[in-house]
Structure 1
Amino acid sequence: MRLMLAALALSSLVGCASNQLSQTGEAVYYALQTDTSLRSWVDACKTVSTTSKQQALMTQKNWWKRNGAFVESADYGLTHDIITVTDDRAETGARMAMAITWQVVETAEQEVDELMQSTSNKESLCDRILSQYNDGERDLRGNESLYNSLVGLQRRAQSGGEDLKMKQASVQARTGKVYGRSFYVVEKMTKREGCPGAKVQLLKNDWPHEVYDARCPDGSYLLARCEWGNCLIAD
């Protein structure tokens, strides 16, 4: 069901091959996926060694400085088009956003896990991948076929960002419901932490920052903090 929702939402962005929005949809997914992949590499490499941790944090800072505006614009494009497609059906739009966020994170984590498990030298692998990000090889502007779409998204975000916030606030006020995009991500994490069937509740919704409380069947609870769909269980 979640992947079906993700596919539906992406199809609304990508459209058919002849649709002028197809490049925009591809640019949105490309930017969000590239950013999430880097965050997954940073999380994985921070635990390898002190050297890898320092390199990971420096790489993330440098890459975001060059590409952050494009990522924020892509996120705007996703949110705007989901709201447009679903109109005031807040729950449908929210579940589409959840499904896409879940799919992006799932794909990135799977790629990182497979490569880390297949190598005998994790520090060397981290150095190679992180260097590609730090040196600009994986900068978003490097994709010539999508660059113009990324620039277009940036202009849309600059001109329509405040209108989108008002639209979101209006929908939430009418429905009385607030949804978190990282819900499915947190749900998956609670299962990995030995808490299947947890009741997940959104405590703070200030995208890209979210905080969730997960109540486990045994009466214990977990607190998850998320940034751009990348979540960690708080100690």
Structure 2
Amino acid sequence: MRSLLLPAIATLGILQGCSSSPLSPTGDAVYYALQSDTTLRAWVDACEKVSADTRQAAYTARQNWWKRNGAFVESADFGLGYDIIHVSDERAETGARMAMALTWQVVETAENEVNDLLSSSGNRADLCKRVLDQYNNGERDLHGNSDVYDSLVSLQRRSEREGKDTSIKRAAIESKTGKVYGRSFYVVEKMAKRQGCAGAEVHLLKNAWPFEVYDARCPDDSYLLVRCEWGNCLVTD
């Protein structure tokens, strides 16, 4: 698991202010849960386009995996947001930008992993089916990783105790600073560039994490409307 975590260690080291080690159990658990969820979503997005069979398998795998693991993913997101609040209480812009950077890193890693495996496969449909079956039958469930399970359980309990107070404090900081940042900002910038809209001016239209909506205005005065869920973004018509 360490090789997966290394790209985000610097960010998590800052966010985990209560820990003396950047490789803290909580930091590992947060990144592992968010990365696992985003990787599944990347597989779903890619495999939906392969065939009718893989599209149905993708839908089923996503639904069943989320039923078993969704509470852990939400708790991991709380863990990230909780530590961001402690940073952004004094430096709102710094904390928000670290959150955006980590979200971008999670999505970037997941996309690269899935694209590399599919591009090198001689049978994309078979690969999709094998991987989605693993998600569907529980082989990739978060509780299967003993290194992070206890931390995920602790995060879930913290979320239940402190989630409401954290949301109130975040709203107070946004009101005080007059600045509202979207976690998927960097993801949208990259997506706009892929769509031929390099140098886009990105504006957050709706900030209701895990759901966000952005307007990316291009240099030629055209624009893209981008909807995001848990950092996974799609350009809408």
| TM-score category (smaller protein) | over 0.9
Match in the other structure for 1:44: 46
- With structure 2 as the length reference, what TM-score do the two structures score? 0.93
Task: Give the deviation of 1:83 after TM superposition.
Answer: 1.4
Instruction: Return structure 1 stretches of 4+ with deviation > 2 angstroms.
Output: 5-9, 12-21, 85-88
Q: Deviations over 1:36-59 (max 9, x none)?
A: 000000000000011101110111
Match in the other structure for 1:56: 58
Match of 1:216 among 215, 218, 224: 218
The 1:26–1:203 alpha-carbon spacing in structure 2 relative to 1, beyond 3 Å, is same
Match in the other structure for 1:202: 204
Identity of aligned residues (%): 66
Secondary structure in 1 aligned to 2:49? coil
Which residue type is aligned with residue 216 of structure 2? Answer: A
Match of 2:147 among 130, 138, 145: 145
Q: Deviations over 1:94-117 (max 9, x none)?
A: 100000000000000000010010
Query: In angstroms, what is the RMSD of aligned CA positions?
Result: 1.9
Match in the other structure for 2:126: 124
Distance 2:16 2:217 in 1: 37
Structure 1: gaps (5+ residues): none
Structure 2: gaps (5+ residues): 1-6
Distance 1:173 1:14 in 2: 25
Q: Contact 1:201–1:212 (CA<8 Å) still a contact in 2?
A: yes
Distance 1:152 1:20 in 2: 18
Distance 1:120 1:56 in 2: 19
Q: Deviations over 1:179-205 (max 9, x none)?
A: 100000000000000100010100000
Match in the other structure for 2:173: 171
Task: Give the deviation of 1:13 after TM superposition.
Answer: 4.5
Which residue type is aligned with residue 135 of structure 1? Answer: N
Q: Contact 1:88–1:171 (CA<8 Å) still a contact in 2?
A: no
